Amino acid sequence: MAIRNLPRGHGWAFVALLVGNLALACGPFLVRNSGVGPISAGFWRLALALPFLWLLARMFGQPVHRPRHGLTIAIALAAFFFAADLAAWHAGILLTKLGNATLFGNISSFFFAAWGLWLAHKLPSPVQALALTLAAAGCAMLMWGSAELSAAHLRGDLLAALAGLLYTGYLIIVERTRGELQPLPLLFLASLFGAVMLLPVAAMAGETVFPADWTGLIALALCSQVVGQGLLVYALGHLPPLVVGIAMLTQPALSALLGWLYYGEAFTPLDWGGAAMIVIALILVRLRETEGGAK
């Protein structure tokens, strides 16, 4: 949630980024307990978040309004990428382990970080290169540990990887549009457009659209969309893609931990080591950006 009175300093944005990723890491667990089909879960995640986002936008002085035509098209395109990401990722979550789904779904972290470096027209500094190497090694350790690669998980893993590619497109467009539109109106419009796109797809897929118990879906909307995406979109306006990308890699470790706690999915010493390497990478890149006075 973007808070209007917070200073624009990087410290608050970095805290928002970490809390947002913590909330987003709960998404796979909540999707499994939503009581509806995967595409329907994506629809309700967006639709149920709308009144909360609208109220927050009013409270924090960011009223929802229709932006200029070109910006509206950009937001609609971002919504398409996000809606397709949710459909693929939610389907993958039901076909593989929580750690797998989040790990493959977050390959966008590396693509988004690489895009940020390309945008800056420079190669990574030695510290940035070390951080990326540690993050990649940490992901490899997670994959070797709890994220089991097997034929049984292949379809789910591929869907999660596809979702990661689609999510990269969403992140790039949102990062570009944050200069013209405040975070809450942007997220409201992207959620609205995405919900409109997902509902007919869920109906055509013949999924269960209405749950017997709304608890899981409401929790999914509040945790993943209002808190998770709200804080992420806020952070995107203040932090460079490299920091955001590496921070997103905390999600696979957190999701794997939830899988271990609730479903008995393996969480090995390799997982702890991989998670520690990702945290060290995040600290390194954050210190580098702070010392350099980065955006």
Retrieve residue 54's tokens: 């609208």
Q: Give the model's confidence band at 4: pLDDT under 50 very low, under 70 low, under 90 confident, else very high.
A: very low
Residue pLDDT, tens place only, 75-108: 999 999 999 999 999 998 888 876 677 777 777 7
Considering the entire predicted model, what is its pTM?
0.79
User: Per-residue pLDDT for 147 more than 90?
Assistant: no
User: Per-residue pLDDT for 47 more than 90?
Assistant: yes
**With contact defined as beta carbons under 8 Å apart, do 161 and 107 qualify?**
yes
**With contact defined as beta carbons under 8 Å apart, do 67 and 75 qualify?**
yes
Q: Would you state the pLDDT for residue 247?
A: 80
What is the 3-state secondary structure of the chain?
Answer: CCCCCCCCCHHHHHHHHHHHHHHHCCHHHHHHCCCCCHHHHHHHHHHCCHHHHHHHHHHCCCCCCCCCHHHHHHHHHHHHHHHHHHHHHHHHHCCCCHHHHHHHHCCHHHHHHHHHHHHCCCCCCHHHHHHHHHHHHHHHHHHHCCCCCCHHHHHHHHHHHHHHHHHHHHHHHHHHHCCCCCHHHHHHHHHHHHHHHHHHHHHHCCCCCCCCCCHHHHHHHHHHHHHHHHHHHHHHCCCCHHHHHHHHCHHHHHHHHHHHHHHCCCCCHHHHHHHHHHHHHHHHHHHHHHHCCCC
Provide, rounded to the nearest whole percent, the portion of the chain with pLDDT above 70.
81
- Which of 181, 186, 218, 182 has the alpha carbon at shortest distance from 49? 218
- Which of 264, 252, 229 has the alpha carbon at shortest distance from 104? 252
Retrieve residue 278's tokens: 């990702």
Q: Would you state the pLDDT for residue 133?
A: 83
Q: Would you state the pLDDT for residue 7?
A: 41
Centroid of chain to Cα 255: 12
User: Per-residue pLDDT for 192 more than 90?
Assistant: yes
Residue pLDDT, tens place only, 236-260: 877 887 788 778 777 777 776 766 6
Q: Would you state the pLDDT for residue 55?
A: 94
Q: Would you state the pLDDT for residue 2?
A: 39
User: Per-residue pLDDT for 264 more than 70?
Assistant: no
Q: Would you state the pLDDT for residue 289?
A: 56
Provide, rounded to the nearest whole percent, the portion of the chain with pLDDT above 90.
31
User: Per-residue pLDDT for 48 more than 60?
Assistant: yes
User: Per-residue pLDDT for 148 more than 70?
Assistant: no
Residue pLDDT, tens place only, 196-239: 999 999 999 999 899 999 999 999 999 999 999 999 888 887 78
**With contact defined as beta carbons under 8 Å apart, do 102 and 28 qualify?**
yes
Q: Give the model's confidence band at 116: pLDDT under 50 very low, under 70 low, under 90 confident, else very high.
A: confident
